Amino acid sequence: MDNINRKIIAALQQNARISYAELGKLVHLSAPAVAERIRKLESAGVISGYSLKVDLDQLGYPIVALVQCKVFRTKEREFKAHMLACKSVIECHNVTGEQAFLVKLAVQSMKQLDNILESFLDFSDTNTMMILSTPVDRAVPQTFYD
């Protein structure tokens, strides 16, 4: 992981569809050299994929909520399965604290949110926060670019 790879990753993070030729200009390397470095980063799992930044609001999901779930001692396995099955769940993190998970939900309406939270009650106590705005959203810490 030298500085060239870091620059490549930083550039791809800003625009994952940039061409190898452009990347080559940025790091003063030929297009095949850049392609080879990226291939290696991919097979090492450092780069795990290429994704889209979308506007959930415009896609019809105006409501994003964060739900703290205190999962019942005996229900952790079932809870995880429910998270994977629940289509509105966009993130689920197992965090320190008593049987705690933090779940990010994107929904079309409050009614839908209500139904989903009700379904969570079979496995956990919940505490819901609505996301009002997101002042910072980066894939990678900025220290990385140094």
Distance CA 138, CA 134 (A): 11
Closest CA to 78 of 120, 126, 107: 120
Work out what residue 40 binds among DNA, its own copies, none; the CB cut-off runs from 5 to 8 Å by kind. DNA
The DSSP output letter for 28 is T
Q: x/- binding map, residues 18-47, to its own copies, per CB under 8 A? A: --------------------------xxxx
Q: Quick one: CA dihedral 40, 41, 47, 48, positive or negative?
A: positive
* Tokens 């309406």 found at: 109
Work out what residue 21 binds among DNA, its own copies, none; the CB cut-off runs from 5 to 8 Å by kind. DNA
Q: Nearest approach, Cβ of 28 to DNA (angstroms)? A: 7
Which residues fall within 8 angstroms of residue 6, CB to CB, at 6 or more apart?
Answer: 144, 145
Q: Nearest approach, Cβ of 52 to DNA (angstroms)? A: 15
28 versus 136: smaller Cβ distance to its own copies: 136
Which residues fall within 8 angstroms of residue 21, CB to CB, at 6 or more apart?
Answer: 31
Footprint on this chain of DNA (rule: CB under 7 A): 4, 19-22, 28-33, 35-37, 40
Pick from 34, 69, 71, 92 the residue near its own copies by CB under 8 A: 92
| Site for its own copies, rule CB under 8 A | 1, 9, 12-17, 44-56, 58-61, 66, 80, 83-84, 87-97, 100, 102-103, 105-108, 129-144
